Amino acid sequence: MNNYESYTDTELASLLAHGDESAYIECYNRYWKNLFIHACRMLRDEDQAMDIVQDIYSNLWNKRDSLIVNSSIKTYLYTSVRNHVINVINKGKQKDKYLDSIAAFAQKGESSTDDYVHFKDLVERIDREVDKFSPRMKTIFVLSREDGMSNKDIAEKLEITDHTVKKTINRALKLLRTQISSFF
């Protein structure tokens, strides 16, 4: 039986590339604790650090056939941990940005909903006030504001002067402003 503890990183990498499970176990035993501590220092989260180190070792075994170690297994593993931590941090930042955008959207949605409810209440209040107008004032106001008719068209339809239409609309608007000013 071989004593894998005495092998160099280069020898372990070579054995690992050929599928030697004992070489893998030696890499794991040799570096796992230090990699975990390294990841913990960067993340300040033991659970995430453990997940990262486990992922690194899973990848090491799964990619053993195509493993290219330019310096040493130790350097390769530390670099892998560092890169994985950076990816986790970046994903966290993306997640934070996403959550911030959802919060902003929700806040905007609340505002939009509040604005809509406020608008609906205002329209109902205006309708109630318009219903209090005299029949003639109400007719002129509705033809002007709701039906979009011009003063001239209203005057012709009701057989009154343009001046009367204009004066009646101005009085109606003045009454509305007075009645709904408390709404704001």
153: domain CATH number? 1.10.10
- What pLDDT score does 121 carry? 82
33 pLDDT higher than 90: yes
Helices first, then strands: H and E counts in the chain: 7, 0
- The mean of the pLDDT values for the chain is 83
In this structure, the answer to whether residues 85 and 167 fall within a common structural domain is: no
18 pLDDT higher than 60: yes
Supply the CATH number for residue 45's domain. 1.10.1740.10
Whether residue 106 is contained in a domain is answered as no
Whether residue 38 is contained in a domain is answered as yes
Q: Which residue has the higher pLDDT, 129 or 98?
A: 129
Domain total in the chain? 2
Q: Measure the CA–CA gap between 144 and 140, rounded to whole angstroms.
A: 6
137 pLDDT higher than 70: yes
pTM over 0.75: no
- What pLDDT score does 109 carry? 58
- What pLDDT score does 10 carry? 81
Residue pair 17/67 in contact by the 8 Å Cβ criterion? yes
DSSP 132: T
In this structure, the answer to whether residues 14 and 83 fall within a common structural domain is: yes
Whether residue 118 is contained in a domain is answered as no
In this structure, the answer to whether residues 86 and 138 fall within a common structural domain is: no
Whether residue 109 is contained in a domain is answered as no
141 — pLDDT class (breaks 50, 70, 90): confident
- For 51-61, b/e burial (b = at least 16 CB within 10 A) is ebbeebbeebe
What is the average per-residue pLDDT within 126-148? 87
Write out the residue range of the structural domain in which residue 165 sits.
132-183
What is the average per-residue pLDDT within 13-22? 86
- What pLDDT score does 32 carry? 92
Whether residue 157 is contained in a domain is answered as yes
pLDDT tens profile 68-101: 777 788 888 888 888 888 888 777 766 666 567 6
Whether residue 104 is contained in a domain is answered as no
